[in-house]
Amino acid sequence: MKVRPFPIAFVFLALSSVALPSHASDSSPSHIVALHETPQQITLSNDYLELIFDRGQHKISSLAADHSGRRKFGGNLLASEGIPFSDGASAAESPSRIQHLDRSSEHGRVRITWDQEIAGRAVPVELTFALGAFDRGAHVQVVFPASAGINWKVRVALRQWFLLGLYERGVVQYVAGQQKAFTSRNPLHLFYTMDRENGSVAIVPDDGSPPAETVLLSGGTTFSSGIELRTQPSQSAVDVWQDFSSAAPAPSNNPTSRHAAKPTIAFQLFANDLPYPIHYPENKILGDGSAATDDATAYFTAIYGSAAGVLGSYAEPGSAYPTLATPGRPYGDAFNFFDPDAWSTVTALSYSGDPLLQNEARHILERSESAMRPDGQVPHHFEAGSPTYLSIAKSSQTGPNIFWVIAASDYAAAAGDESWLRAHYAHLRQATDWVLAKYDPQHRLLHADGPLFIDVFRRSGYTLDTNVAALYLLDRMAEVAEFCHDPENVARYRRLRHDLYQGIRAGLWDGRDHFVTQRNLDGSIRDLVDYDGNFAALAFGVPDEADAIKLLQRMDSGAHTHPAMHGTWVSERRYEQQDCYGGNDGDSDVTMARIWWLDMAARVRSRDKIMFGALLRPLEDELLHNVWLPERYDTVGQPAHNDYYHEYPDILTMVLREMRYGIHLGMREVTLRPFDTADFTFQLGKMDVSYSPDKVSVSVPGSGMREFTIAGLHADTSYAISTGKRLSTDHSGALRFSAPSGALIRVTAVERGVPPRD
């Protein structure tokens, strides 16, 4: 990613008076807090962040960052206005006074004081900056004088295009250039901005002195985006975007005693030269080489730019839209499409490692659950806040039920929210039974009335897509039922999965090299050689090894299977107008991320690392370059349909975590099976995995026992486990053992050539 160069024309000195080595910017991190003071400015920095305070204008004039921690600070992330702490006019002649509160190389804390003239009287303003050697953000606190009629504020003017406020009530997302303001008195938990060229800035208000009012700013000519933190409520209209002039703070009508507490605004100010917020630095992906850096950037850019970006829960609780608001949305007021759009958003948020975003994932699930019909049908989506059970194309789909259940299990496992899963298990079972009610024991197949997850395609009868997706559903539900101590349904789900598996092989295999689209009730066949169902069959292990080879060759021989390696086509034969509801064939000539996910899973199962890498790199590179991705790609790999769509970024996080890094968390089983990487650290909140063939440490959320499978280790090797066991890997290098979740489990190789015990 390119950033504009920013010259650094001064020498850094450590607070402990130890000079920083002149070569520090070209070597390893120094882990030293540095301060440089001149009559014009104060510069506070560590390896990751540089903050410059203009002493004459009493404002932060520059904020720069280096995510790599080598003091290679790029461009100023602030707009020209910066972050002023006075009104400028009455304080311009007041010199600032500096007091060092902490003078160590590990931590710096400095207080800056100047006088502000109020009603002919000079009163002090106190500003404090604090920064630790390993901090990604500086703590900022400003104490204003107690004075009647003044609504003190801190205004942060920024360069980034995208802005998001995460409040107690929910999420507000917008983009720059609208000259609009959004005023709220709801408690703000997190504000951040991001874009490709200008990195990201995040603000987290202190719990002890939260602002009474915040204003999100979509800027115009002098700045792109920003926020105001106010000490008192204004008379502006709240909870609605309005013109700047309408959102200006009005003088307070509240008299202020001389002995009243001084208005205070305090917050953490985080900076990142990469396009995602760094307010939760414990979350990380580390490994050898640039690939791990690209993976980390892509992963968190997708999480905060797209998965969080499509949330609209401030206005509609528990809502996830298909695209960003820029400022409109091409799908209007429709949200929570579980066909399967909202599934990938919930999964991405659940595996963000950020508790704020995990809460949003839970709210999305609960919003759709609240509208579940008595027979267990999950709404397809919501329009203007009301549930609807048919797709936009007016087709009936099994996808919403299947993917809502899978999303719920993803959330519970990733967040470790076991009590939530137990409390909602009855609804998961009810939603699953709605799908299983379509089961025909004679054919050992489900009879569907429409498509699984491409709503315009006409599919009915014993369809490949729904039947193969049901295998995935029943795998998950058997594990969930076991966790929730429901042995009767564990047995039922496993029995039905076995029967469906046999029914798909017997009833839908064409006898040569692929599975057909559907078998009709009269026994006839309709076949367009669909890539969604066939790649799903490969991913979930339906064909035997010989048939799998023939099937994969058939899929890859299609003229448009992978246009410019940007995703995966929908079918070998085109869906013409007569094959689509309402004659809408617009989904026929495009790729879809949901099919790309199944394609990539098929590569993992077939151990096809070459094609896996060839399909991953172009999309990851495109995300790194553009930050946001289109809904789909056309016949030559060019963007198609709508911009700023969530699905490819969401799915990319899943491909990275569960395939490249091979991390799967279940309610009973945890699997580490890296595909094309050998040494890494992958930490997301309470999930912490460090992996190499010699040594593994893993901690997963939750409280119960889990069955661990760790693959890719040395074959026939004895490993010591921190639980006190000593076990050997099998001939493939896999190790299996039981251990508690919620604790760090260490696995260390101790002796080679030890065959596993029976």
Q: 217, 241, 272 — which closes off a domain?
A: 272
Q: How many domains does the chain have?
A: 2
Residue 686's domain spans which residues? Answer: 671-752
Amino acid at 695: K
In a domain, 327, yes or no: no
Strand partners, 698: 689, 745
Rounded Cα–Cα distance for residues 96 and 53 (Å): 11
Backbone angles phi, psi at 580, to 5 degrees: -125, 145
Could you tell me the CATH number of the domain that includes residue 746? Answer: 2.60.40.1180
Burial category of 95 from C-beta neighbours within 10 Å (exposed 0-12, middle 13-18, buried 19 and up): exposed
Backbone angles phi, psi at 609, to 5 degrees: -70, -30
* Residue 187: Cβ within 10 Å count: 13
Q: Using DSSP bridges, classify how beta strands 188-195 and 162-167 pair: parallel, antiparallel or unpaired.
A: antiparallel
* Residue 213: Cβ within 10 Å count: 22
In a domain, 414, yes or no: no
Please, what is the Cα angle at 454 between 449 and 460, to 5 degrees? Answer: 20
Residue among 202, 159, 161 nearest 178 (CA):
161
CB-CB contact of 532 with 477 (8 Å):
no
Torsion of CA 447, 449, 453, 454, to 10 degrees: 130
CB-CB contact of 284 with 274 (8 Å):
no
Could you tell me the CATH number of the domain that includes residue 90? Answer: 2.70.98.10
In a domain, 236, yes or no: yes
Cβ-based neighbours of 288, under 8 Å, separated by 6 or more: 679
pLDDT score of 757: 60
In a domain, 65, yes or no: yes
Cβ-based neighbours of 7, under 8 Å, separated by 6 or more: none
Burial category of 210 from C-beta neighbours within 10 Å (exposed 0-12, middle 13-18, buried 19 and up): middle
Predicted model pTM: 0.94
Cβ-based neighbours of 758, under 8 Å, separated by 6 or more: none
Residue among 150, 148, 152, 153 nearest 256 (CA):
148
Q: 241, 272, 303 — which closes off a domain?
A: 272
CB-CB contact of 378 with 388 (8 Å):
no
In a domain, 740, yes or no: yes
pLDDT score of 103: 76
Q: Which residues of 45-73 are buried (b: 16+ CB within 10 A; e: fewer)?
A: bbbbbbbbbbbbbbbbbbbbbbbebbbbb
Specify the long-range contacts of residues 578-583, CB closer than 8 Å, at least 24 apart: 579/457, 579/458, 579/528, 580/393, 580/456, 580/457, 580/458, 581/393, 581/394, 581/395, 581/455, 581/456, 581/457, 581/458, 582/393, 582/394, 582/456
pLDDT score of 58: 94
Rounded Cα–Cα distance for residues 720 and 489 (Å): 36
In a domain, 757, yes or no: no
The helix/strand/coil state of 4 is coil
pLDDT score of 21: 31
pLDDT score of 247: 65
- HEC readout, 267-292: EEEEEECCCCCCCCCCCEEEECHHHH
**Series of mean pLDDT values for 10-residue runs along the chain (758 residues):** 31 30 50 93 96 95 97 96 79 76 89 87 92 97 85 95 98 97 97 97 94 95 96 93 76 50 94 97 89 96 98 98 97 97 98 98 98 98 97 96 98 97 98 98 97 97 98 98 98 98 98 97 96 98 97 94 95 97 95 98 97 97 98 96 98 98 97 93 97 97 95 97 96 97 96 69
Residue among 142, 275, 280 nearest 201 (CA):
275
Q: What is the DSSP letter of 660?
A: I
Q: Which residues of 5-27 are buried (b: 16+ CB within 10 A; e: fewer)?
A: eeebeeebbbbeeeebeeebbee
Q: Using DSSP bridges, classify how beta strands 264-272 and 199-205 pair: parallel, antiparallel or unpaired.
A: antiparallel
In a domain, 166, yes or no: yes
In a domain, 67, yes or no: yes
pLDDT score of 93: 58
Please, what is the Cα angle at 172 between 166 and 178, to 5 degrees? Answer: 135
Q: 252, 272, 292 — which closes off a domain?
A: 272
